[in-house]
Amino acid sequence: MSKRTDNNNFAGKIGAILATAGSAVGLGNVWRFPTETGANGGAAFLLIYIGFMLLLATPIMIAELTIGRHGQRDVLYAFRKMNGSKGNWAFMGYLPVVAGILVLSYYAVVAGWTLEYAFRAGVNDFAGKTQEEFSNDFSQFISDPLRPLTWIFLILAMTFGIVALGIQKGIESGAKIMMPALFIFLAILVVCSLTLPDASIGLTFLLKPDFSKVTQHTILSAMGQSFFTLSVGICCLCTYACYFRKDVDLFKDGLNVAVIDTVVAVMSGLIIFPAVYSVPGLSPDAGPSLVFITLPNVFQRVFAGMPVLAYIFSLLFYLLLVMAALTSSISMLEMSSSYFHKEKNMSRAKSALIMTAICMTLAIACSFSFGIWKDYTVFHLGFFDLFDFIIAKIFMPIGGLLICIYLGWSVKGDVVYNEVTNNRTITQPLYPLFMFIIRYFAPICILMIFISELGLIDF
């Protein structure tokens, strides 16, 4: 056996599932999903998105888990080991380092906003404000050079603290506390939201599909969302799977995480759309500001006569966002720092600290791109949008494609089969379907998204 101490692996199956689900469930579910659903016509988007989750994102997630769990150390080692060092796949080991830094640098900015809004909710700053005031407040805040940085620093400090504590004491314990809390908060908010006046209009928007609204753009957005929300393609889950025990059922775990992630996204929709429709004049396609401008306004209008409820509802919602962001940011920091820790023998705390410092520096640039650096652009994109573009539209699809090619074509079928059946001790009836998707269906689909996203062809 290797010299790993206990704190270098997830202790149990539940911890492994919760930590993986923690990475998947994040701002992508509570912030990006309602935004995308609102902008793409509601229920029809939801259905297509669920289709991609099942046929594309979940199988690739299971592929990542398989590679990582086989490796049992870090991503670089895992890619070398599983195909017997055939070809030069070592570059995949650097993908999570670079991607982790990039994604955390801009994710921490929005995570910081959630912390500011939880704070504002806590000090009752929303009381009595109008939609216009909310809108001004938000644009003033995000373009401020200093204030957002304080919150970004705090989010990164918390993320660092948890990662530095190690796999069991930090990541697993964090997920075990935050994930159930998140579910409880969500459930309370769903119940509240569904009892609002005109909640049924919001429900219809989310649940009754109108396929006339589906365009090529809807399909591409749904695919992109399924990748982002499951953290798939940049070897984040591959990193976590290195710490999985050998008796974890990878198919079951992967499917569970996909189900948890989808349930959280739908629950967020069930909170947000009935709330938006319960105030006349508001629309569900307000874009990214839905969660920071429209919602605080909704809480004030709906509970106009009951300030205590407005206060509790707002505070719960933003605390929920903070927790969702944290369980994901932890996985981003872990994926980027594990290489130096495992391959270069640096201590966990030191490598996490170096990565945090790099992310903080880049996050400052991302935050400034909403204010004083608005005019600095690369390919017409500010730093924040540039990082998002590189991650969601380049790294995730290309990484996903490479993972499929690696597992489907470079690794021997026997090795894959033994890994997913825990050395033939459990059965995996879905294995043939999984392999078909990984070898043929997913690579073709991803190539299509990628090419069309870059605008090279128009489907």
Which CB sits closer to ligand PHE, 21 or 411? 21
Decide whether 27 or 250 has the Cβ nearer to ligand PHE: 27
Does 331 interact with ligand PHE (rule: CB under 6 A)?
Answer: yes
| Choice between 76 and 199, CB closer to ligand PHE | 76
26: left (phi over 0), alpha (psi -120 to 50) or beta: beta
Question: How many residues can be counted in the chain?
Answer: 459
Query: Nearer Cβ to ligand PHE, position 8 or 20?
Result: 20
Two tokens, residue 269: 């929709």
What's the closest the beta carbon of residue 312 comes to ligand PHE, in angstroms?
Answer: 25
Among 18, 19, 27, 182, indicate the residue that binds ligand PHE (CB under 6 A).
27
Note whether 26 binds ligand PHE by CB under 6 A.
Answer: yes
User: Long-range contacts made by residues 71-76, C-beta under 8 angstroms, separation at least 24?
Assistant: 71/242, 72/2, 72/242, 73/2, 73/242, 73/342, 74/239, 74/242, 74/338, 74/339, 74/341, 74/342, 74/343, 75/235, 75/238, 75/239, 75/242, 75/335, 75/338, 75/339, 76/339, 76/343
Q: Name the residue among 49, 93, 11, 152 with its Cα closest to residue 402.
A: 93
268 binds ligand PHE (CB under 6 A): no
Q: Which segment (20-28, 37-45, 130-138, 407-415) binds ligand PHE by CB under 6 A?
A: 20-28
* Count of CA atoms in the C-beta half-sphere (13 A) of 200: 0
- Per CB under 6 A, 236 contacts ligand PHE: yes
Collapsed DSSP state (helix, strand, coil) of residue 381: strand
We find the least distance from the C-beta atom of residue 232 to ligand PHE, in angstroms, to be: 8
- Binding of ligand PHE by 336 (CB under 6 A): no
Residue among 24 and 250 whose Cβ is closer to ligand PHE:
24
Least Cβ distance, residue 237 to ligand PHE (angstroms): 8
When binding is defined by CB under 6 A, the residue of 17, 18, 21, 24 that contacts ligand PHE is 24
Residue 456 has φ and ψ, to the nearest 5°, of -75, -35
> Contact 292/113 with Cβ under 8 angstroms?
yes
Radius of gyration of the chain (CA): 21
Write down the least CB distance from residue 363 to ligand PHE, Å: 15
Question: How many residues line the site for ligand PHE (CB under 6 A)?
Answer: 15
CB 197, min distance to ligand PHE, A: 31
> CA–CA separation, 34 vs 42, rounded Å?
9
Residue matched to tokens 């699809």: 397
Stretch that binds ligand PHE, among 10-18, 26-34, 147-155, 198-206 (CB under 6 A): 26-34
Q: Which is nearer to ligand PHE, 50 or 201 (CB)?
A: 50
Of 65-73, 216-224, 324-332, 424-432, which segment contacts ligand PHE by CB under 6 A?
Answer: 324-332
Q: How far is the CB of 458 from ligand PHE (least distance, A)?
A: 28
Q: Tell me: does residue 65 bind ligand PHE (CB under 6 A).
A: no
Q: Check residue 332 for interaction with ligand PHE (CB under 6 A).
A: yes
Q: How far apart are CA 218 and CA 224, in angstroms?
A: 10
- Which of 65, 103, 111, 321 touches ligand PHE (CB under 6 A)? 103
Alpha-carbon separation of residue 444 from 56, 85, 90, 133, 311 (angstroms): 11, 26, 24, 48, 49
Q: Which is nearer to ligand PHE, 97 or 234 (CB)?
A: 234
Cβ proximity of 323 and 24 under 8 Å: no
Tokens representing 243 are 């710490």
With respect to ligand PHE, which residue has the nearer C-beta, 231 or 278? 231
C-alpha 263/C-alpha 279 separation (Å) is: 25
State which of residues 22, 28, 166, 443 lies at the interface with ligand PHE (CB under 6 A). 28
Applying CB under 6 A, which part among 22-30, 185-193, 341-349, 367-375 lies near ligand PHE? 22-30
- Residues numbered 173 to 232 that lie near ligand PHE (CB under 6 A) are 228-229, 231
Residue 224 or 408: which CB sits closer to ligand PHE? Answer: 224
Let me know: does 104 contact 361? Beta carbons within 8 Å. no
Nearer to ligand PHE, 27 or 315 (CB): 27
Which residues have C-beta within 8 Å of that of residue 220, sequence separation ≥ 6?
449, 452, 453
The region, left, alpha or beta by phi > 0 then psi within -120 to 50, assigned to residue 287 is left
Give me the least distance between CB of 148 and ligand PHE, in Å please.
19
Rounded CA-CA distance 362/104 in Å is: 9
| Residue 162 binds to ligand PHE (criterion: CB under 6 A) | no
Decide: helix, strand or coil at residue 106: helix
| Residue 119: exposure state from Cβ atoms within 10 A (0-12, 13-18, ≥19) | middle
| Residue of 8, 9, 20, 29 interacting with ligand PHE (CB under 6 A) | 29
Residues that bind ligand PHE (CB under 6 A): 23-24, 26-29, 103, 228-229, 231, 234, 236, 328, 331-332
